[in-house]
Every structure is written in C-alpha cells, then in structure tokens.
C-alpha cells in the first residue's frame, strides 16, 4: 500500500490557485489510483462547510490530474538510488486552493487508530 498523510497550508495563495503535488519514491508497481481512486482530503476549519465537505472526503473538483508512473532514476535522485536495481514510482496530483489561508490534510485514505 502507498500510505501518505500530510498537511498543506495555502498561506497567501489566491482561491483557484493550482498546486501540483508529487509523492515520490513509492515502491509498489501498481496502485488503486490507476483504477480511479482519489486521495482523501480534510479541511482543518470545519465551520461553515457544506455537509459533503465535512470530515474526510473525496472531491474530484479539488484534487485532479492524478497520475501514477515509474520515476526516472536519473532525475533528482542521490547517487545511491541511481545505482539501485529497484524501480520507484511517483504519484502526481493537482490540488486547487478553495479558500485563502486554508489548512487541509491529504491522505491515502481516512486515517484511523486501533484503539
């Protein structure tokens, strides 16, 4: 599984600005993203959001342009990785800023705990 979970701060970016995110060095050669899966997003400020945008959700209007491809080992890798026999992959997506100075989380799927 390709697991990721990170925060994006859009301080100073205007609404509608597109930010391209590349998640590199993934080991798996296949991904559910190739079959249409989209990453989950969560807005830190939940006040005033529409019901469909509260909590962890998928929004194809906000995250789009998803690509999953084999990474060129010669492109910005350190010398040890360039010599490795293992092939790495990149997940690339575009996030469109929804509000000025927002804070959002993007994850492979909804985070959970075992407790």
- Provide the residue ranges of all domains of the chain, joining segments of one domain with +: 5-107
pLDDT tens-digit map of 18-58? 988 888 877 777 787 778 888 888 888 877 777 777 888 88
- Phi/psi of residue 100, each to 5°? -65, 135
CB burial readout 68-84, b (16+ within 10 A) else e: beebeeeeebeeeeeee
Predicted model pTM = 0.74
Q: What is the pLDDT of residue 63?
A: 79
pLDDT at 74: 61
Per-residue model confidence as pLDDT tens digits over 67-105: 777 877 666 666 666 666 677 788 888 888 888 888 889
pLDDT value of position 69: 77
Question: CA-based angle 62:63:65, to the nearest 5?
Answer: 125
The end-to-end CA distance of the chain, in Å, is 21
Flag whether pLDDT at 110 surpasses 60.
yes
What pLDDT is attached to residue 81? 63
Whole-number Å distance between alpha carbons of 8 and 94: 12
DSSP type of residue 72: -
């929004």: which residue's tokens? 59
């Amino acid at each position: 599984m390709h697991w990721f979970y990170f925060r994006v701060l859009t301080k100073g970016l205007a609404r509608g600005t597109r930010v391209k995110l590349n998640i590199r060095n993934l080991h798996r050669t296949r991904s559910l993203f190739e079959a249409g899966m989209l990453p989950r997003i969560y807005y830190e400020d939940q006040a005033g959001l529409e019901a469909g945008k509260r909590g962890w959700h998928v929004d194809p209007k906000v995250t789009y342009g998803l690509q999953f491809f084999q990474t060129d080992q010669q492109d910005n890798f350190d010398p040890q990785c360039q010599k490795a026999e293992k092939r790495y992959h990149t997940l690339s997506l575009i996030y469109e800023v929804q509000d000025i100075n927002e804070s959002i989380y993007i994850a492979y799927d909804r985070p959970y705990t075992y407790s």
